[in-house]
Structure formats: C-alpha cells, structure tokens
Structure 1
C-alpha cells in the first residue's frame, strides 16, 4: 500500500511561468527521505480567474509522509512558500488532500 499527498494551487493569470519556475528551481530534498517514491507537478485547466495546478508526491506509507512533514528537509523546502501568495503568484493557500492506495494497476 502507498500514500499519495496532493496539493491544489490556484495560480494567478499570467503567473503560470513564474509558478513553474519556482518549483523547477527549488531544492525539494524529497529524495533524502525514507519512503519517498515520486513527485509530479501537474498543470490543469483554467478556472475563473486562475489556473489550477496540483502536486502529487507518492510515498511508501502515510507514516513516511508524516515524517517528511516534521523534518528539517520539509522546513527547508517550504521556507519561502508564503512569499508566493504575497507576491501575487498564488491565489489563496494550497489545498491538501491525502489518499491511501487501495488498488494499483500497471
């Protein structure tokens, strides 16, 4: 069984490239963590006044994910996260969703 941690982001119109650059240039430190498998940043549809993005991190377990959220690596990776809202890149706060895998096909 695995755990998928997802965040949804509403990005201000015209700031999509800025948002993507922030993600591409940040030091995530995820690979240092036990149980980390994969990360993806997805660009979704345009909504009313924003473009939707979602991040997906796949972990071996919820416990591994929770250890990440309490780690020095997590604090380092999220050090400037609030600045994205204050600088007008994001609209509002990210919305977190976590899921336990109950079925997986390859």
Structure 2
C-alpha cells in the first residue's frame, strides 16, 4: 500500500472551511487502486490550524495514475484561478505503508 498526505496550513479558525471543500469529491473515489480518503484537523499549533488530506492507495503506481487522470486535473483546476486567502501553505508527503492493522 501507498499513502500520500498533504499538510495544508490555514489561518487559525479556518480549518472547517477547507474541510467543507472536500465533502464533495471529484472522482478520486472512482480511481483504480484508491482505498481511502481521510481529512484530519490539527488545531494545536498556536499560530495556525493544519488540515491533513490523507489518501491511501493499493500502490504508488495507482496514486501516480490518479495524478495523471482527467479527474485529477478537473479536481485541481480551480486551484490556479482561485487562491484561498486563508491558506498559508502546504507540504506533501508520501509513504510506503510498512504495517497496517484494522479491527
């Protein structure tokens, strides 16, 4: 399995607005190899909130397939035209899943 996270820093108090934008998916759930999407909110930093978008895939190749798809382009197309004033920045991380346990 392969996991990718996007840690998005937002102005304090704006995490819920960003989370709301993810409620309506734009095709990721239909992408071959997609397993799950989770949105985590960290309100602990004093100067900002963090919204972490976590996706899990069957493989790195499945994730890369999503990034090259028309659905991905459409889902991210709006980013170039509209910069959300409350977004401070982001950092992407990717991982090979070494161990997973579910009950």
TM-score normalised over the length of structure 2: 0.87
Deviation at 1:20, TM superposition (A): 1.8
- The 2-side partners of 1:58 and 1:97 are apart by 12
- The 1-side partners of 2:44 and 2:100 are apart by 29
RMSD over aligned CA atoms reads 1.5
- The 2-side partners of 1:3 and 1:17 are apart by 27
Deviation at 1:80, TM superposition (A): 1.6
- The 1-side partners of 2:84 and 2:51 are apart by 17
Deviation at 1:15, TM superposition (A): 2.0
Runs of 5+ in structure 1 lacking a partner? none
TM-score normalised over the length of structure 1: 0.85
- The 2-side partners of 1:49 and 1:64 are apart by 36
User: How many corresponding residue pairs?
Assistant: 101
* SS of residue matched to 2:29: helix
CA contact (8 A) 1:38 1:58 kept: yes
- The 1-side partners of 2:98 and 2:13 are apart by 38
**Runs ≥4 residues deviating over 3 A:** none
